[in-house]
Amino acid sequence: MATLAERLNAWFADAATPDAVGRLREPTTSEVAKAISADPSHDVTISRSYLTSLRNGSQTNPTMNVLSAIVRYFQSRDMSLPVSVSALISEPTPPGAREEKEERTETLADRQVRSIAMRAGRLTPELREHLLSIMDVLDDPRRAPKPAPEEDDR
């Protein structure tokens, strides 16, 4: 699970641009703090030391205004990472998680599945264990009906 400091440092690395000799150079903490403080679109001023504290994790609870100002700075850069307040403070959805949730939602939309789940919820833990054992047997692919052998058309 990435921390605010780790995400912020990833943005600094992603905002790197080539210098005069072609080496990638991240913006310095001081440059970013000055640019944020000089931005007339908001009233946030941020010191280099406070931004450093956010980057090293010693400060972990900035205000929404500070987060918005940091986001605004990085949105003005050519970034490959998603840049938003939510991307900075929350974990991204893992690949496949959305599809899994949609599949669960579809499954639970079935009336029979909901009925089974509701009835199972009223059982004792021991009975639920027995029910799961029965379901495991029913779900065993070795118990699936075998396809009928094809007739030879010679």
- Give a yes or no: residue 40 inside a domain: yes
Mean pLDDT over residues 20-46, rounded? 94
In the predicted model, is pLDDT for residue 37 greater than 90? yes
62 and 129 together in one domain: no
Mean pLDDT over residues 125-137, rounded? 86
For residue 25, give the H/E element and its range.
Answer: strand 24-25
Nearest to 38 by CA among 26, 51, 47, 49: 47
Strands (E), 13-120: 17-18, 24-25
Summary mean pLDDT of the chain: 85
Each residue of 53-86: pLDDT tens digit?
999 999 999 999 999 999 999 999 999 999 999 8
Q: For position 7, what pLDDT does the model report? A: 93
Each residue of 99-127: pLDDT tens digit?
776 777 777 777 887 788 888 888 888 88
Rounded Cα gap, residues 25 and 43, in angstroms: 28
In the predicted model, is pLDDT for residue 154 greater than 60? no
- 113 touches 107 (CB < 8 A): yes
Tell me which residue range forms the domain holding 136.
97-140
48 and 117 together in one domain: no
Each residue of 22-34: pLDDT tens digit?
889 999 999 999 9
30 and 73 together in one domain: yes
- Give a yes or no: residue 146 inside a domain: no
Q: For position 144, what pLDDT does the model report? A: 59
- Give a yes or no: residue 21 inside a domain: yes
Mean pLDDT over residues 3-10, rounded? 94
83 and 45 together in one domain: yes
27 and 63 together in one domain: yes
- 41 touches 71 (CB < 8 A): no
* Total tally of structural domains belonging to the chain: 2
8 and 55 together in one domain: yes
